[in-house]
Amino acid sequence: MVEDKILNTIKKHNLIENGDNVLVGVSGGPDSMALLYALLSIQTEISFSLYIAHVNHGVRGREADEDEKFVEKISGKLGIPFYSKKIDMEGYAREHKLSSEDAGRRLRYKFFREVLLSINGGKIAVAHNKNDQAETLIMRFFRGTGLDGLKGMEYRNGDIIRPLLDISRNEIEDYILEKNINTRLDRTNLENIYNRNKIRLELIPYIVDNFNPNIVDTLWRTSRTMSNDSEFLEEFSKERYRELVKVEDKNSIILCRQKFSREHIAIKQRIIRHSIYNLTGTLDGISEIHVRNVLELFERGDTGKSVDLPNRLEVKTSYDDLIFRIKNLNVNNNYKYSLKRGQATYVKEWNSIFKMEVYPMEKIQLNFKDRFIKYFDYDKIKGEIYIRNRRLGDTIQPFGMSGNKKLKDLFIDKKIPIDEREKIPILVDKNDIIWVVGLRTSEKYKITPYTKNVLVIKYKNL
Pair 14, 142 in one domain: yes
- 28 labelled as ligand-binding? yes
Structure confidence at residue 206 (pLDDT):
97
**Residue 227 labeled ligand binder:** no
Question: Are 163 and 273 contained in the same domain?
Answer: no
Query: Helix H segments across 79-161?
Result: 89-96, 100-118, 130-143, 147-150
pLDDT digits (tens, 9 = 90+) for 353-375: 999 999 999 988 888 888 889 99
Would the annotation count 25 as a binding residue?
no
Cβ pair 387, 339 in contact under 8 A? yes
Q: Are residues 253 and 352 in the same domain?
A: no
Written as one letter, the residue type at 116 is: L
- Boundary (domain end) residue, out of 326, 359, 389: 326
Do the domain assignments include residue 202?
yes
Residue-wise pLDDT for 216-260, tens only, equals 999 999 999 999 999 999 999 999 999 999 888 878 899 999 999
Q: Residue 439 domain-assigned? A: yes
Whether residue 21 is found in the same domain as residue 120: yes
Residue 233 lies in a domain: no
Count of domains for the chain: 3
Domain residues for the domain of 253 are 249-326
Say which residue, 322 or 331, is predicted with more confidence.
322
406 in the same domain as 290:
no
27 is in an annotated binding site: yes
Mean pLDDT in residue range 315-328: 85
Using CA atoms, how far apart are residues 100 and 136, in angstroms rounded to an integer? 16
CATH number reported for the structural domain that contains residue 253 in this entry: 3.30.465.60
Query: Distance (Å, rounded) from C-alpha 393 to C-alpha 219?
Result: 65
109 and 185 within one domain:
yes
pLDDT tens across 132-177, in order?
A: 999 999 999 998 888 988 999 999 999 999 999 999 999 999 999 9
DSSP string, 359-388: EEGGG----TT-TTEEEEEGGG--S--EEE
The neighbouring-strand residues paired with 317 are: 322
pLDDT of residue 16: 98
Same-domain pairing of 124 and 93: yes
321 and 361 housed in the same domain: no
Give the whole-angstrom CA distance, residue 296 versus residue 290.
10
Confirm or deny that 29 is annotated as ligand binding: yes
Q: Are 283 and 277 in contact (CB under 8 A)?
A: yes
pLDDT tier for residue 190 given thresholds of 50, 70 and 90: low
pLDDT of residue 304: 72
- The secondary structure of 251-313 as a DSSP string is SEEEEEHHHHHTS-HHHHHHHHHHHHHHHHS--TT--HHHHHHHHHHHHHT-TT-EEEETTTE
Note the pLDDT tens digit of each residue in 94-137: 988 888 888 889 999 999 999 999 999 999 999 999 999 999 99
| Residue % of the chain over a pLDDT of 90 | 70
Residue 331 above 90 pLDDT? no
Q: Do 65 and 159 have their domain in common?
A: yes
Q: Find, among 348, 391, 371, the residue nearest to 437 by Cα.
A: 371
pLDDT in tens, 284-314: 788 888 999 999 999 887 777 889 998 889 9
Pairing of strands 156-157, 160-161: antiparallel
Mean pLDDT in residue range 402-411: 91
The answer to whether residue 224 sits within a structural domain is no
Q: Give me the CATH number covering residue 368.
A: 3.50.40.10
Instruction: Report pLDDT digits (tens) over 416-458.
Output: 877 678 889 999 999 899 999 989 999 999 999 999 999 999 9
Examine residue 226 and state whether it is found in any structural domain, yes or no: no
Over residues 262-278, the mean pLDDT reads 96
**Which of 361, 383, 368 shows the shortest CA–CA distance to 451?**
361
Q: Say what the pLDDT of residue 328 is.
A: 61
CA dist., res. 288 & res. 283, Å (int): 11
**Do 64 and 138 have their domain in common?**
yes
Q: Is 76 annotated as a binding residue?
A: no
Say if CB 93 and CB 99 are below 8 A apart.
yes
Per-residue model confidence as pLDDT tens digits over 307-316: 999 888 999 8
CA–CA distance, 252 with 246 (Å, rounded to integer)? 10
98 is a domain residue: yes
The pLDDT value given to residue 286: 87
Q: What is the CATH number of the domain that holds 36?
A: 3.40.50.620
Residue 232 within any structural domain of the chain? no
pLDDT at 48: 98
Q: pTM surpassing 0.75?
A: no
Digit-coded pLDDT (tens) for 56-100: 987 777 888 999 999 999 999 999 999 999 998 888 889 888 888
Give residue 255's pLDDT: 94
**311 and 385 part of one domain:** no
